[in-house]
Amino acid sequence: MRYPIRISTLWSPLLKLFGMGGSYVELTDDALLFHFGTAHERVPLAEVTDVSPRKWPLYYGIGARIVPGHGVGFVGSTDGVVQVRFASPRPMEVWGPFRLNAAESVSVSLEQPDAFVDAVRAAL
């Protein structure tokens, strides 16, 4: 099932300019697929240890980014943010040539954060 990434109307024109409109996270039988701009990552469910809502202060920024705590963010809004934690650090594409070689988590802003959390927890 696909879960659209929430993009606030304030940031929508800028994020669409950089190709981040229409972004989503997809839950398959065995993986999470993250699609945000140029970033396309596949994380096997066997490597996911937890998923939970999280606060996202505006000073963390909006867009594709490296975030405090050795994580990656695909965030278009400060609302509806969910953090997916990994069993061990893994390389993650951020945007274009930028990567984080040892990401411990990924945070995404979602249109349906509660439904996503419930579905991933059930899949785990």
Phi/psi of residue 6, nearest 5 degrees: -75, 125
Q: Percentage of the chain surpassing pLDDT 70? A: 89
Confidence of residue 18 (pLDDT cuts 50, 70, 90): low
Count of H-run helices and E-run strands, the chain: 2, 9
Tokens of 26: 């997809």
Q: What is the pLDDT of residue 62?
A: 83
Dihedral of CA atoms 40, 83, 55, 60 in degrees, nearest 10, equals -40
SS3 120: helix
Q: How far apart are CA 17 and CA 83, in angstroms?
A: 25
Q: What is the pLDDT of residue 67?
A: 87
**So what's the architecture of 2-123 in CATH?**
Roll (2.30)
Q: What is the rounded average pLDDT of the residues 49-66?
A: 91
58-91 pLDDT, tens digit per residue, is 899 888 888 888 899 999 889 999 999 999 999 9
Q: What is the pLDDT of residue 25?
A: 96
Q: What is the pLDDT of residue 9?
A: 72
Tokens of 39: 């970033």
Residue 112 has pLDDT above 70, yes or no: yes
90-101 pLDDT, tens digit per residue, is 998 887 667 778
Q: What is the pLDDT of residue 119?
A: 97
Helix (H) or strand (E) holding 115: helix 113-123
DSSP-derived pairing of the beta strands 71-75 and 98-109: parallel
Question: How far is residue 67 from each of residues 10, 29, 48, 106, 110, measured CA to CA in Å?
Answer: 21, 28, 18, 9, 17
Domain ranges for the chain: 2-123
Confidence of residue 7 (pLDDT cuts 50, 70, 90): confident
